[in-house]
A and B are shown apart, each in its own frame.
Chain A
Amino acid sequence: MVSPLVAVLLIFLVLPIVLIVIVSFWRATEFSIIPAFEFDNYAFLFGSPVTYTVFLNTFKYALITWAFTLLIGFTVAYYLAFHIRSLTWQIALFLLCTIPFWTSNIIRMISWIPFLGRNGIANATLISWGVIDEPIEWLLFSDFAVILAFVHLYTLFMVVPIFNTMMRIDKSLIEAARDAGANGAQILWNVIIPLTKPGIMIGTIFVVTLVMGDFITVRFMSGSQSANVGRLISNEIALLQYPSASATAIVLLVTVLITIGILLRFVDIRKEL
């Protein structure tokens, strides 16, 4: 029963990773890559100050995006799970939140242009209100735009797992807390949040890995002015420097897997499904 699954994962996941590891020790000339076993690619990677800046930038994006998606995602899930009283409405509003997930990410990025551009809606509105005299330049093609796009694209990945765990909280626990004299904030902090932790963790895993592995959002929304590790790799690929791209990719993969390993200590995914 599992053989097709094993076959797909072996050919398109395990073998490619093994190959990337092998190629990361190869040597590149200007026009070809040569099998070798040398640590030059890694030595260069860890010797370059750019690497550290870029990795730091990647963590910065991940952390800020995580904070925003968690705050927004938790609030939305909380509203749907505890304030909407009929199941039909819950499903309808939940679907309304998830539909954008099934449409194209690139189109959703493009659709920020008329908002954030120099003569875009945001600037025009602010000028007409008299808040600013000249258009703000940093709305589009900046770190601000990158984070905005990340939050726009990935908040859903927080809403869905958090909503899923919240729906399984026994409502009598909340009544018990209220009967014992807890106020709304205390119920939220001492009952709901602890019970929602698995959902929060799963959402965190999604958001952190998606942001850390991204290269297209950063490229598009920063107008090629900012970089993260994904962009570093895609630039090296564009220059046909496959060995150094592979070395960077392996370091990124190890970083992501360590992060996930730490997060998985807090949650048993199989039990939470």
Chain B
Amino acid sequence: MEPRPRSFYVLSAFFAVFILFLYGPTITIGILSFQGEGGGLTFPMRGVSLYWFYDLFEQQAVGDIWGSFRRSFVLGLMVMLVTVVVSVMGGLAFRRKFPGSNILFYLIITSLVIPSILISLGVGLLFSQSGLDVHWSTSGFGAQLTWTLPFGLLIMFAVFNRFDKSYEEAARDLGASPWQTLRHVVLPIIAPSLIGVALFGFTLSYDEFARTLLTSGSYNTLPLEIYGMTTNVTSPVLYALGTLTTVFSFIIIGVFLCIALIANRRRARQSSDAGKGHI
């Protein structure tokens, strides 16, 4: 191996600082959420306690944290499921040109770049003008899909751009029906990327704020609840909540990564036995 150039060490230091910049603040509020009872929003720590976490579980005056967490979780699962299914279908359809495919592609890009507040305002107006009530599971759900679907679709486009069509041809030559080809050949090959789409679907929904602001109705999702707290709560209880939601996000990410890892291992183990033959 050739020796490392000097720029390697400079860039390594830069990268380390960047990682510190990314994680430092989060770690800080993680530490500060264990602040003692008399402690404030910054250092020094006045003792170490779980006081603010207890406070979080008891205090009901701020709002309905656990209710909003439950809603966000359910909404995240709904968005995740629909994002995966619709993205796969869209990705499959976009493999060949169809009437309007160009317009649809630019609509997807628009959906990605449009300022979130327009979706919030527009969907809110749509529901109020047509006499429907806004609710997190209807208008909020749809508004979030306009954010998660473009990500899911872009991943699927990238996957199918690299997809080797000869697998499908082989399946067809062996007499598989279109459905069998999809079920037994295409889907297993793209399965690992679906884990990525699912991760995007869930986390983007779970953390989404702007698009749910005017579309969730009287029952808040968790990000809206947290945002409400920032305006009237000035104690480390805010950090405790922040730490808990971040830990929850890390667990979700960890679960998805583990599934991806296991799926990859399994695929490596069960991979083709071509060429091994029976001797």
A residues lining the B interface (CB < 8 Å)? 1-2, 4-6, 8-9, 11-17, 19-20, 23, 72, 75-76, 78-80, 83, 85, 93, 95-97, 99-100, 102-108, 110-115, 117, 119-121, 124, 152, 155, 184, 205, 209, 212-216, 220, 230, 233-234, 237, 242, 245-246, 249, 252-253, 256-257, 260, 269-270, 273
Q: A76-B18, A83-B8, A106-B227 are in contact. Are A2 and B90 (CB under 8 A)?
A: yes
CA of A19 to CA of B113, assembled, Å: 19
User: Would B15 and A79 count as touching, CB distance under 8 A?
Assistant: yes
- CA–CA, A12 and B112, complex, Å: 13
Assess the A19–B125 pair: CB atoms within 8 A. yes
**8 pairs of A and B residues whose beta carbons are closest in the complex:** A16-B122, A213-B115, A111-B25, A1-B93, A12-B142, A102-B203, A209-B113, A273-B158
Whether A117 contacts B41 in the complex (CB less than 8 A), given A103-B207, A212-B115, A273-B158, comes out as yes
In the complex, A257 Cα to B119 Cα: how many Å? 15
| Residue in chain A with minimal CB distance to B157 | A273
How many interface residues does chain B have, given as a range?
35 or more
Q: Is the CB of B125 within 8 A of A114?
A: no
- A11, A20, A113: residue with the most chain B Cβ atoms closer than 10 Å: A113
The reply to whether A104 and B245 form a contact with Cβ atoms under 8 Å apart is yes
With an 8 A cutoff between CB atoms, is B143 at the interface?
yes
Q: Which residues of A contact B181 (CB under 8 A)?
A: none
Q: Is the CB of B89 within 8 A of A5?
A: yes
A216–B11 CB distance below 8 A:
no
Contact with A along B111-144 (1 / 0, CB 8 A): 1111111110111011001000000000000110
- Give CA–CA (A147, B129) in the complex, Å: 37
Which among B121, B210, B230 has the greatest number of chain A C-beta atoms within 10 A?
B121
Q: Mark B96-114, 1 if CB is under 8 A from A, else 0.
A: 0010000011011111111
Partner of B89, one of A4, A19, A115, A245: A4
A215 vs B25: C-alpha distance when bound (angstroms) = 21
Q: Hey, which chain A residues are within 8 Å of B210, CB to CB?
A: 213, 215-216
A205 touches B113 (CB 8 A): yes
A99, A103, A257, A260 interface centre (most CB from chain B within 10 Å): A103
Q: Flag whether B197 is at the interface (Cβ < 8 A).
A: no
Chain A residues whose C-beta falls within 8 Å of the C-beta of B250 in the assembled complex: 99, 103
> Is the C-beta of B277 less than 8 angstroms from some C-beta in chain A?
no
In the complex, how many angstroms separate the beta carbon of A43 from the nearest chain B beta carbon?
A: 21
Taken together as a complex, chains A and B put the C-alpha atoms of A259 and B210 apart, in Å, by 22
B142 to chain A: which residues have CB within 8 Å?
8, 11-12
Who on chain A is nearest to B17 by CB?
A72
CA A184 to CA B85, docked complex, whole Å: 46
| Contact (Cβ within 8 A) B246 A104 | yes
Interface 9-residue window, one of B26-34, B48-56, B164-172, B267-275: B26-34
**Min distance, Cβ A121 to any Cβ of chain B, angstroms:** 6
Given A110-B29, A111-B242, A249 and B41 touching (CB < 8 A)? no
Q: Smallest Cβ distance from B217 to chain A, in angstroms?
A: 15
Interface flags, B240-253, vs A, CB<8A=1, else 0: 00100110011011
- In the assembled complex, the Cα of A143 lies from the Cα of B15 at a distance in Å of 25
How far, in angstroms, from A117 to B158 measured CA to CA in the complex? 43
Q: Are A8 and B5 in contact (CB under 8 A)?
A: no
Residues on B with C-beta less than 8 A from A184 are 5, 7
Find A9's partner among B8, B107, B223, B249 (CB 8 Å cutoff).
B107
Distance A80 CA – B85 CA, assembled complex (angstroms): 33
CB neighbours (8 Å) of B161 from chain A are 273
Specify which of A20, A107, A234 is in contact with B122 (CB 8 Å cutoff): A20
Contact pick for B249, options A102, A111, A233, CB 8 Å:
A102
B66 at the interface (CB under 8 A from A): no
- A residues in contact with B154, CB < 8 Å: 273
Chain B: CB-nearest residue to A120:
B42
List A contacts of B24 (CB < 8 A): 115
